Chain A
Amino acid sequence: MRRRLAAFAVLAALAGGPALAVQPSERLPDPAQEARARALSTELRCMVCQNQSIDDSDAQLAKDLRVLVRERISAGDSDAEVLDYLVDRYGEFVLLKPRFKSETLVLWLTAPAILILGGGVAFLAYRRRAARAAATPEPGLSAEETRALDRILAGDAPAER
């Protein structure tokens, strides 16, 4: 779906078209470090692309960033330090998962809030209705209904379905 219809506008503008990221020459020799680099890459945005991580994109900028991430990892940075390093240079925009802070409170808390709110409303509605139902007991069966029920229980009612 991705580019889909927006592709009309988007893809034309996308440098290079379909992506083919992480060139063989970029990879780090140490598999553990390379794995860390790949994991970090999926959390970093290629800033000239449409919502694509640098792991996915083959734009030149994404390539530069991938190399940069690997340089920092080789230099001994921790994952958090690499992210800080990139945020210092490129701003929060580079993170595909925004940090939890005052400007992103609404972003992070909407779904849990809806969950709690929905549960609360459902619970209150249940309580109110149960109370109302208890206050007004359901009317018993009418004489006719009782006779019909007796007939059914006696077994001469039409079969189920």
Chain B
Amino acid sequence: MTAEIGHFALVLALALALVQSVVPIIGARRRDAALMAVAPAAALAQCALIGLSFAALTQAYVVSDFSIVNVVENSHSLKPMLYKVTGVWGNHEGSMLLWVLILAIFGAAVAAFGRNLPASLKANVLAVQGWVTVAFLAFILATSNPFLRLDPAPYEGRDLNPVLQDIGLAIHPPLLYLGYVGFSISFAFAIAALIEGRIDAAWARWVRPWTLAAWCFLTAGIAMGSYWAYYELGWGGWWFWDPVENASFMPWLAGTALLHSAVVMEKRNALKIWTVLLAILTFSLSLLGTFLVRSGVLTSVHAFATDPARGVFILVILCLFIGGGLTLFALRASTLTQGGVFAPISREGALVLNNIILTAACASVLVGTLYPLVLEGLTGEKISVGEPFFNLTFGPLMVPLLMAVPFGPYLAWKRGDLLAATQRLWFAFAAAIVTVAVVAYATSGGPILAILGVGLAAWLIVGAVSELVSRARFREVGFMVGLRRLAGLPRSTYGTTVAHAGLGMTLLGIVAVTSFQSETITVMKPGDTAAIGRYQITFDGTDRSRGPNYDQLVVHMTARQDGVVVAKLDPSKRFYTVRQMPTTEASIVTHGFSQLYLTLGDETGDGGIVVRMWDKPLVTLIWLGALVMMLGGGLSLSDRRLRVGAPKPARASAAPVAAE
């Protein structure tokens, strides 16, 4: 019965979404307040209905209702409760339901918190949200219904893919979707602006917090996914330029660009047309990501043949929204007025540079991801595009961008002074030089690119922090006054500093682990000792045991440093009985920011087992840096300016100009 309720709620939500996507637009056209008021009501009710539907599916998983196909295929009565719940979105149908649930939550949030939005803008934004909801609800109901029944119901389910039976599944997809789907709000605002043919600084002030929030979630989602792959898949890598990763990375790159161009628009009323285009592109890339992952087109081109309906359906959605959005843009962009003038060397100029490079970087990821598909489709020729390609195209783009980052905040709006900015960055530059010298000495002249990379990371971190210090003007005003000045700086300033420093941390982690990690693969037997990096690893013994839905072989090891025991490790190999799938559970010990990483390979038959070991210096900085970036976004989001909402345009000119 619950399944039918869930199914019915989805159909009702679709009906409501249809109303939401048509009525408010007519209302906005006719300036009819009653019609426009339909939008928030429909958005809230729709959120409740989709929530009900999601709850119904969750209930089916919790009680292991094996009369539902989706539950049979992805669950098992012996599975731990956490994975029963997370298993709801650990499959195609459920994850699409999560996608629309989050979409509906964002729509409801705009409806609930958007009180200070002009009525017609709010109506149009929610209507555009409604279009997206209609498309995806129709997709679910037509091709991916999670509530289909099975008769006769089997006694037992087929279990969830063992790799997904991890806490990562509880965190990673929801965060990622919050990011993907959050950009739909920026998209809806952009389309609404095009429909109304009007856009001003206040618009940017409304869009920015939504974009920022989505960006924070996406940052965390990608970082979490990367760490999950790192510890779960057991080969010590953290990023593979896999198409599925690229699918989430492209909206991140575009979203980062959008974040920065929205600042220009808000502060200087410039780059309007570009910001609107970027908002459309960012969400288009989110949709493309959803398409690439969900259609199965990446697994193999032939996945289309197994279920062509799904792939074609999402492709149609994709074409409608991207094509429609861009067409509308082409038709209406000229109605948006041009913004203020600025010199090439200025804060605006720096942010334009940021946007150009990020766009090019995003394009390199995009062609790298899609080119093999397109080429095979057109000529039948199969090529591969992998890490070496991206290292050669994406990497060189990042270097000038990262070098330029510390300059941005030092340049004044409208017309900046590069020389003055350079002088004020002398400390960061000196810090980078000293870092390079120290690292070169410590590694006795190791790989030159890696040493320069560490220097670049120092430049980013010190450059970001020194900007705060120079704003406090300790030298001119004295320490105490300086501290007060520091405390009085707007939070968005701290946000910038923190996020840029986080970028430096991530870079440091990436460089350290790619260039300075040690790796050993060896066969070990009980009593053996092997050396890895700074550690000696002793094989103490093995034991076999049984988990709730798997059998496992655990190896006990001791890590010593100069004879002193520093850690006990127990990597294991599991065999999930229902799916007949083996998995390797790595054992990871964190010391400071570095990690010792052990995984098991095959048994050799004579009592030995292959052990692969890594000593990964500063590896955790990769993800900590991302979290710090997210924190920076959060700080910026909590800025009073964004919380109190935008002033009415009429008042804006009279209000005192926000001090920088």
Partner-contacting stretch, out of B8-16, B387-395, B629-637: B387-395
Cβ contact of B386, chosen from A45, A106, A114, cutoff 8 A: A45
What number of A residues sit within 8 Å (CB to CB) of B?
61
| Binary flags per residue of A87-122, CB closer than 8 Å to B gives 1, else 0 | 000011111111000011011101110110011001
| Binary flags per residue of B279-317, CB closer than 8 Å to A gives 1, else 0 | 000000000000001001011000100000000000000
Interface residues on B, range: 35 or more
Interface residues of A in 1-21 (CB under 8 A from B): 1-13, 16-21
| Binary flags per residue of A21-56, CB closer than 8 Å to B gives 1, else 0 | 111100000000000000000110100001111001
Among B228, B366, B383, chain A packs the most CB atoms within 10 A around the CB of B383
Task: Check B584–A20 contact: CB distance below 8 A.
Answer: yes
Interface residues of B in 589-618 (CB under 8 A from A): 599-602, 610, 612
Collect the chain A residues with CB atoms within 8 Å of residue B195's CB.
none
| Binary flags per residue of B507-523, CB closer than 8 Å to A gives 1, else 0 | 00000000000000111
Which partner residue on chain B sits nearest A1 by CB separation? Answer: B225
Given A6-B298, A51-B240, do A17 and B488 touch, yes or no (CB 8 Å)? Answer: no
Task: Check A108–B393 contact: CB distance below 8 A.
Answer: yes
Among A2, A6, A53, A123, chain B packs the most CB atoms within 10 A around the CB of A2
A130 interface hit (Cβ, 8 Å): yes
Collect the chain B residues with CB atoms within 8 Å of residue A104's CB.
371, 383
Cβ contact of A129, chosen from B173, B341, B357, B387, cutoff 8 A: B341
Task: Check A130–B235 contact: CB distance below 8 A.
Answer: no
Task: Check A23–B610 contact: CB distance below 8 A.
Answer: yes
B161 interface hit (Cβ, 8 Å): yes
Cβ contact of A5, chosen from B293, B393, B610, B612, cutoff 8 A: B293
Task: Check A2–B293 contact: CB distance below 8 A.
Answer: no
Collect the chain B residues with CB atoms within 8 Å of residue A95's CB.
383-384
Task: Check A103–B375 contact: CB distance below 8 A.
Answer: yes
CA distance A10 to B245 in the complex (A): 13
Query: Separation in Å of the A63 CB from the closest CB of chain B?
Result: 11
Task: Check A20–B244 contact: CB distance below 8 A.
Answer: no
Collect the chain A residues with CB atoms within 8 Å of residue B262's CB.
none
CA distance A79 to B381 in the complex (A): 24
Given A96-B388, A114-B359, do A8 and B90 touch, yes or no (CB 8 Å)? Answer: yes
Which partner residue on chain B sits nearest A98 by CB separation? Answer: B383
Task: Check B387–A9 contact: CB distance below 8 A.
Answer: no
Among B172, B361, B388, chain A packs the most CB atoms within 10 A around the CB of B388
Known: A4-B244, A103-B379. 11 other contacts (CB 8 A): A3-B163, A4-B293, A21-B235, A42-B387, A58-B601, A96-B385, A103-B383, A111-B361, A114-B360, A129-B338, A129-B341
Question: Which residues on A are within 8 Å of B, measured CB to CB?
Answer: 1-13, 16-24, 42-43, 45, 50-53, 56, 58, 91-98, 103-104, 106-108, 110-112, 114-115, 118-119, 122-123, 126, 129-130, 132-133, 158, 160-161
